[in-house]
Amino acid sequence: MVSRSSKPSTASLPPSDIFEKEEDRHEAMEYNGMELPEEYLLAKLSFTSEHTRFFKTMRKDQEKKQELRRNTEFNFAKPDTFNDSQASVHDMVESEAPYQDVDEGLGDILDGFQQKTEFLKVVKYNNKNLGKELTDSKRLHHAFVESAIKYMDIPLPILLKIKQGTLFVPSVYTISEGVSVAFMQSLRSLEGLNESKLYKAIFQKNKMNDMIFSNVLKGLRARPEFVSLISVSNDLGDHAAQ
Amino acid sequence: MDFIKAMPTLMELRLINCKCNPRSMDKIIYSINKSISLKKLSLQNMQLSERQIKVLIAFIKESNLQHIDISWNKLTSGHLALLLQALEFNTTVEYLDLSFI
């Protein structure tokens, strides 16, 4: 046992390692007569001088990095919220956020860009095909319009009204002579339309006179698949009867 | 009506409230009379004359019509008696509309 009263004088100071050893010894003395905890011993063994040096240099490096980050262009003018005790948690998070997620953010942008590119490719492809279908349809309507214009009549998009093989022309439409001629000529071929078959025609009070109705019937005659004709409140004269 | 002749596949003809002179109506009735494929015939409010009605009834007797609508025409009791006699021979009619005659 070493007496606690026998302290070394200041004139002959021992080297610092002696104090450390003394401290260790004192610590060990505290556990004198008792079994030292295993965790304590392992911790003591692991904490060697090499480890201490490593932790010290690592802490210095971290401080240097943080200093550099604070002095970047983005945060130069901003207060040091991260190390400011007065700053809120939100400020701290905000001050660090752009740098933590910069790689992830670029990845997201790249993914979004690729998705948009794929989407635009599909849109372009669809537009190209749709345009092709419309071209055939337009050709038919162009002929229809030309026929109607010869009679100074405003053509109606009647052929587009064929749905599920049925053409229904409601009373709001007045079928004039030009339209009926256009009708007669255009019904010969419906290949350009989405509906290439015409099974049924319904004319509801379209103010058709005998001649006009006759033209329409001539058009319908060109359709071999036609099976049903319904006419409501239209004129039937000699021409139509013929 | 040449239209009916030219359309051998025509199965349904409905002329409803159409203005038609007697001569034209004669032609239509005559064409209908020649039709084989017609299944549904509707001549609502077509102001059929007595002779036309008789021709039509004669057609009903021998036709394959399934659906007949001659409502809003001026049919007399004599016409109805003829029609009932014609229907005795017809085995295809499923629907007959004689409203407001």
- ipTM for the complex? 0.85
Instruction: Compute the average pLDDT of residues A59-64.
Output: 84
Q: How far is CA A109 from CA A46, A105, A115, A117, in A?
A: 46, 6, 10, 12
To the nearest 10°, the Cα dihedral for B76, B79, B80, B85? 160
% of chain B surpassing 70 pLDDT:
94
Is B49 or A47 the better-scoring residue by pLDDT? Answer: B49
Predicted TM-score (pTM) of this structure: 0.54
Is A239 or A15 the better-scoring residue by pLDDT? Answer: A239
Please tell me the distance from the alpha carbon of residue A156 to that of residue A153, in angstroms, as a whole number: 9
List of chain A residues whose C-beta atoms are within 8 Å of the C-beta of residue B23: 238, 241
Q: Does B29 touch chain A (CB under 8 A)?
A: no
**Most confident of the ranges A21-25, A49-53, A234-238:** A234-238
% of chain A surpassing 90 pLDDT:
0
Match domain B2-97 to its CATH number in 3.30.420.40, 3.80.10.10, 3.40.190.10, 3.30.2320.80: 3.80.10.10
Instruction: Compute the average pLDDT of residues A64-89.
Output: 62
CA quadruple A220, A226, A227, A229: dihedral sign: negative
- Indicate yes or no: CB of A231 within 8 angstroms of CB of B23: no
Residues 174-203 of A with CB under 8 A from B: 200
Q: How close, in Å, is residue B53 to chain A by CA atoms?
A: 17
- Indicate yes or no: CB of B3 within 8 angstroms of CB of A200: no
List of chain A residues whose C-beta atoms are within 8 Å of the C-beta of residue B13: 228-229
* B69 SS3 class: strand
Q: Which helix (H) or strand (E) holds A230?
A: strand A228-232
Nearest CB neighbour to A231, from listed B7, B15, B40? B15
- Indicate yes or no: CB of A240 within 8 angstroms of CB of B17: no
Q: How close, in Å, is residue A239 to chain B by CA atoms?
A: 8
